[in-house]
Structures are given as C-alpha cells and as structure tokens.
Chains A and B, each alone.
Chain A
Amino acid sequence: MAMKKFLFVQTQPPHGSINGQEGLDAVLMGSAFTECAVLFLDDGIYQILSDQQTGPLNSKDYSVTYLALADYGVNNIYCCQTHLNERSLSTKDLILPVQALPEASIRRLFDEYDVILSF
C-alpha cells in the first residue's frame, strides 16, 4: 500500500489561540512518517507573516519554525490567493516561499491528499 499523504490546513491566526502552534507540531511529527503538505487559509495566513514582534505578548514567535519545514522534507506549502488579496498581502510578505493558488486549485488539493487535518 502506498503511504498516505497528509495535508495540514492552518486556518487560525497565531497567538490568539494555540491552534496554529500545535498544528505546526503535528506537521513536523507527520513529516517523520510520510509526505506532508501545509495549506494556509483565511487568517491562518497570518501565521507566516514576516517580522512578527511577539515579545510584548509573552507569546513564542513560532513563525520561524516554519523555516525548518524544508529540512523536514516538507516542500509543498500552499495558500489561497483570494485570502491573501482579502488581507492586502502578497507572498512577498511571508516568511517562506508559498505557492498561492486560486480557489479551484485548492479544491483539487483536497482531493489529492488522503488525510486532511485542519487546525
């Protein structure tokens, strides 16, 4: 049986809840077992915004951990172009290279992966 492919979907902004940080932990763990990809939707995109200043929040700036994804063999990182536009962001504002996809392609992405874990 071919190994199942996992898609981790990040939908929550960072720091307001721990969902994103614990979601990233799951991605890193998943990468040790099988092929994994990450998709940022809605406010989840804010997790990978560059230059986060989290000091005054007493919150860990875990966005830098996303930079390690390549070392873990996680090279397929996607976001929704529409959700970027809605937030006046572009991929240049993000801490790592991300493929911005139109909504129709995101639908295909859900078909392509065997296990989808949404955070």
Chain B
Amino acid sequence: MKFAIAVFGAPYSSQASLSALHFAQAVTLAKHELYRVFFYHDGVLNGNNLMVPPQDELNLQNAWVEFAATSKSELVVCIASALRRGMLNAEETRRYEKTASSLDPAFIISGLGQLIDAGLQADRLVTFN
C-alpha cells in the first residue's frame, strides 16, 4: 500500500511527531511505500537543526534525518508554515537577510500543494495532530 504522512504537531510538545516517526518506520519496515512525509502547522519545527534536547532524550530532528536517509523518504515542509515559525534553509536565510538558518537540509521547503498531492496519490494519508 502507498502511504503518505502529514505531521501537524510540534516536536516534544505533543506525541504527534514521535508517533508519526514510529508510523513512518513501521510503514517502511513492512515494505509498504511511503510517498511523502509532509510537515504542516507546528510540525515544521521537526526540521529545526538548532534543537538541543537533553542527551538522554531522542533528538527528533536527527531521527527524521536518519530515517529519511535510510528509507530514501521525502521530507517536505510547508513554506508558509515554516517561514512564519522561523524555519529557514540557507536560501531563505539569504532571501530574508537573516543571520542563521534553522532548517536541516534533509527537509525540502515546498508549497501546500505537496500535501494535496500526497492526499491524491497515496492510498492513505495519515495525519498526526
């Protein structure tokens, strides 16, 4: 089956991000296809490479990057949600003349159309709120 995942919840503040990561891992482990992971709302904060959680806790941003690398999955953040919350990649940092970029390069910045496309293409779009 072809799955797509939408993550709406902020990392750590709610269980949404961790549950989404576990679900994504289960999808690929069971040899299903993962079409895309789309981050919307506070979910875009999962791409924050400035997060420094305590050492005995999971670094969610690292975990997503590792998952994407091993599973060859696509991680996409909504540009409007990301900019509003200060999630900028190198290109956006230059565009808005900011001093630091915050979005890990493993996360692609794109538009909301990618969420709609995920709903159209996948057999199941699963939302974590």
Chain B 13-49 interface mask (CB, 8 Å, partner A; 1/0): 0000000000000000000000000001100000000
Asked if A70 is at the interface (CB within 8 A of a chain B CB), the reply is no
Contact A115 B119 (CB under 8 A): yes
Residue in contact with A6 in the complex, picked from B80, B112, B116, CB distance below 8 Å: B116
Main secondary structure of the interface of B (DSSP, over half): helix
> How far apart are the CA atoms of A117 and B8 in the complex, in Å?
11
Asked if A3 is at the interface (CB within 8 A of a chain B CB), the reply is yes
Contacts of A29 in B (CB 8 A): 111-113, 115-116
* Closest Cβ neighbor of B114 among chain A residues: A29
> How far apart are the CA atoms of A25 and B113 in the complex, in Å?
10
> How far apart are the CA atoms of A115 and B80 in the complex, in Å?
22
- Tell me how far the C-beta of A37 lies from the nearest C-beta in chain B, rounded to whole angstroms: 14
Asked if A67 is at the interface (CB within 8 A of a chain B CB), the reply is no
Interface size classification for chain B? 10 to 19
Residue in contact with A33 in the complex, picked from B84, B120, B127, CB distance below 8 Å: B120
> How far apart are the CA atoms of A19 and B60 in the complex, in Å?
23
**Number of residues of chain A lying within 8 A (CB) of chain B:** 17
- Tell me how far the C-beta of B41 lies from the nearest C-beta in chain A, rounded to whole angstroms: 6
Contacts of A22 in B (CB 8 A): 40-41, 80-81
> How far apart are the CA atoms of A3 and B129 in the complex, in Å?
26
Interface residues of chain B, those whose CB is within 8 Å of chain A, are 6, 8, 40-41, 80-81, 84, 111-113, 115-117, 119-120, 125, 127, 129
- Can you name 6 A-B residue pairings with CB atoms under 8 Å? A22-B40, A22-B81, A25-B112, A33-B120, A115-B125, A117-B6
